[in-house]
Amino acid sequence: MEDLTQEEWVEKLENDDNAVVLDVRTNAEVAEGIIPNAIHLDFYLGDEFVDELDELDKDKNYYVYCRSGNRSHKACEIMEELGFTNAYNLEGGILQWVGDIVDLE
């Protein structure tokens, strides 16, 4: 698990052909917009969240974000415990994101 600045996160993501972007915010937060191509798993679902994480391909590289970087940091720690080898937390979360955001509506 690694905490990355936005610049580091984007640079690593752009050069990674094995990348998955993971949004761990709530449904209400996601309704405000999501980073393009991200998959969504709500951190606050507790055990269900952990079960859904555990079903993901552990050989992929996960670029994880939330609103401010706290939940995504914790999500990366959980992923590490589940056997994921590459999980990257976006420091500052989507609040500090200056890249593209798509509206899901």
Q: Give the Cα separation of 48 and 27 in Å (integer).
A: 15
Neighbours of 74 (CB within 10 A): 15
Annotated catalytic residue within 1, 66, 87, 94: 66
Residue 66 annotated among the catalytic residues of the structure: yes
19 alpha carbon, distance to own chain's centre: 11
Q: Cβ neighbours of residue 105 under 8 Å, at least 6 residues apart?
A: 31
- Which is nearest to 70 in space by CA: 96, 51, 50? 96
Catalytic residue set: 66
